[in-house]
Amino acid sequence: MFVKTNNAWNDFLFIDLFAGIGGIRLGFESVGGKCVFSSEIDPDANKMYKANFGELPAGDITKIAPDEIPDHDILLGGFPCQPFSIIGNRKGFEDIRGTLFFNISEILRIKRPYALLLENVKQFKTHDHGRTYQIVIKTLNEIGYYTHTKILNALDFGVPQKRERTFIVGFLDDLNFAFPPPLNIMPDLNSVLEKDEEVDRSLIASEKIRNKRLERLKKQGKKPFYPSMWHENKGGHIGIHPYSCALRANASYNYLLVNGYRRPSSRECLRFQGFPDNFRIVVNHTAVRKLAGNSVAVPVIKAIAEQMMLTLRNPCPRKCQKDLPFMACKS
């Protein structure tokens, strides 16, 4: 059923749904893909997307007919995570945003791309006692896609951020596919951080907040170390780590402090997601915090894209080499 020859996967087309600032796009461009359509409704995300990719994404995907979307080989979509996140109300498909998955399914039914990658929050598989995930997989199967699902942590792929996300890969054939293995290397926090004197002074936490965090840390029997990221959860517990906790779009302003001293800068927020330093920032810091919190870790996407290309360029039925992870069959 392959729609492309093995060599043709060196030059493939994809669409970027719920595109955000383009993190998924970056990962698939790095393995030879060309984006032929993107969709995003957030105005600030669109400004960033246009500044970095030279094109303005189409708007609300619910108002775009599937047959108006160009033909493509791979559908990519980090469909909205808010309905499934422990930070939100966890309404799932009862929330109107949850139904956006069905817009994805209609595009898959009509355009029939050979492969897909979907991204969502870690809790996606267990939401509503697993029923939400079961609906998604059942729908994909009914359309004709064979799926593979795994939770991956950005911390395992060279990014100093503990960010666990659910990834679903699908193909129109039942292919042997393995998600990328962890690098087993602790990322260097210093590679992300700017010098305190180089960031805007408005990012420095007040003396009251700094002292309060330090007192709580000591009461917990912990000692400060540097460099470190200080994270305060909803219960007031202070965590101190040589990496960041997951960036969150709607978190309190001071929930995450660099060395217990200041809030992360706009560039640092993007670096925590693996965006290159030449990625242009054209919106204010508040917007960047939100956009970075809603984005993906680019190195994770790149690693998945590389595995998908390995599978597509060397296709093998799933049953042929189940015991050989991270390697596609060449038979």
Residues taking part in catalysis: 81
Q: What are the tokens at 302?
A: 């790149």
* Type of residue at 71: D
Residue 194, strand partner residues:
none
What CA–CA distances, in Å, run from 64 to 60, 67, 103, 324? 7, 8, 9, 41
- Please tell me the distance from the alpha carbon of residue 247 to that of residue 102, in angstroms, as a whole number: 27
- Please tell me the distance from the alpha carbon of residue 330 to that of residue 191, in angstroms, as a whole number: 38
* Residue 303 backbone phi and psi in degrees, to 5: -65, -40
Q: What are the tokens at 75?
A: 């559908």
- For the CA atoms of the chain, what is the radius of gyration? 21
Residue positions counted in the chain:
331
